[in-house]
Chains A and B, each alone.
Chain A
């Protein structure tokens, strides 16, 4: 168990809908990262928050947004969902800004139908 908790584990929703994925980092970790994993693209970095502030952005669509709350948990919001958004979404956390020793959660499997 990495100590990173993601909820829900599975999510099935229809196209056009909006969902929120939740992540609780390991105790003491200030950085949270979101990744998307699909069969054709592999693991793609979406966004990083450090101590409540956005730190880096990767290949995150404009329909997606994230935030990190004062208690350091993070939420990833996905809106206007399309079939192609179906993927595994992982959250990872690390103690500092550098993600060289990031620990991943178990992921949320999103299926858009």
Chain B
């Protein structure tokens, strides 16, 4: 079993919808949680970074971490066609050395 599990999708939503992306993990040592967005043929781009449990908001994006359930989420409000991309969750332990990535969820926002 991989340490980080992420539904690959694809997830297709209409423009303006609220999108919910999720990851589960098995390693209770993970303390740092990140979401990356990757457009086709591009490198991953850091969207959100959260330490330990709780919520963090940045514009239309909200990241949630529930360490008790080993579950993290990314919410995208008022989704736009430009949000169409693959979203990767990543996490690491206290050492922070190695990021453990999910395989990514492909999102398509249709006009």
Contacts and interface: CB of A to CB of B under 8 A. Distances in A.
Given A48-B97, A104-B44, A99 B88 contact: no
A103 B96 contact: no
A28 to B, nearest CB: 17
Contacts of A98: 32, 96
Given A99-B92, A101-B49, A42 B43 contact: no
Interface residues of A, number: 24
Given A42-B103, A100-B92, A4 B46 contact: no
B96 A97 contact: yes
A99 B46 contact: no
What range describes how many residues of B lie at the interface? 20 to 34
Nearest to B90: A43
A55 B88 contact: no
Nearest to B43: A104
Contact of A99 (B42, B97, B102): B97
Contacts of B100: 45
Interface in A4-50: 4, 33, 42-45, 48
8 contacts: A4-B43, A42-B88, A43-B99, A44-B101, A56-B98, A98-B32, A98-B96, A107-B42
Interface of A: 2, 4, 33, 42-45, 48, 55-56, 58, 90, 92, 97-107
